Amino acid sequence: MAMHIDAVARVYARSLFEEARNAGGAEKLAEVAGELETICEIGRGDRRFREFLASPIIGTEDRGRSLRQIFANRVTDLTLRFLLLLNRKHRLGNLESINAALDQLVQSSLGRIEVDVITAAPLGDQQRQFIAERIRAALGQEPVLHASTDPTMIGGIRLRVGDRLIDGSIATRLGRLRTGLLTGGDAAVRARAARIIEDREH
């Protein structure tokens, strides 16, 4: 499922995206994006590594030296320089969000868009294909679907495209119906009362 990506992460991701593409086109971009994803995977599986990246106790210079020792000759110079930049700016704790923002940029450059699909029950292949076709027709991009389930949903479907949530669940529709009835009903009662008062005054 897509994570929240803040404006700061988007700025850093855009900077890395442009620099990688200018340095070697789509091939270099794919290489750098793959390296950043691998580093994030290490962090997801290793709590100590995550703490090393984000800890305010470790000095910037000490962490910078450690980053060089860990990643020199293991990642491209561009990726290492980017990590060192994040370290100097105290943004290594945002690495996951930056990685997610970079992935969105890469997918978009390839004409693809990532879509989270949340349903009450797991989707079958035909349902996935149907949803993909509808999104493709609506957005003109090739969707990369990430399906998940939410047992609290009564039915229907929720789609998250980037930061935009498209909610078509039954629970949401019922909530809107209830709100509409309460709001509309209240307005109708007030209007009727106003008419009765007016009639009596005249």
- pLDDT higher than 70, residue 86: yes
Q: Tell me the average pLDDT of the chain.
A: 85
Q: How many Cβ atoms are within 10 Å of 102's Cβ, its own excluded?
A: 26
Would you say 119 and 149 are in contact if contact means Cβ atoms under 8 Å apart?
yes
Rg value, the chain, Cα? 25
Q: Are 116 and 160 in contact (CB under 8 A)?
A: yes
- Alpha carbons 112 and 200: distance in angstroms, whole number: 65
User: What is the band of 136 on the pLDDT scale with cuts at 50, 70, 90?
Assistant: confident
Average pLDDT, stretch 79-97? 96
Q: Determine the pLDDT at residue 100.
A: 92
Report residue 86 as tokens.
């994040």
Helix (H) / strand (E) containing 84? helix 77-88
Domain boundaries, the chain: 7-109, 112-168
CATH 1.10.3470 fits 7-109, yes or no: no
**Nearby residues of 24 by Cβ (< 8 Å), 6 or more positions away:** 31
Give pLDDT tens digits for 50-68.
Answer: 999 999 999 999 999 999 9
- Angle 126-131-133 (CA atoms, 0-180°, nearest 5)? 95
Structure confidence at residue 154 as a pLDDT band (50, 70, 90): confident
Residues in Cβ contact with 168 at an 8 Å cutoff, skipping those fewer than 6 apart: 156, 157, 158, 159
201 has a pLDDT exceeding 80: no
Q: In terms of pTM, does the model score above 0.85?
A: no
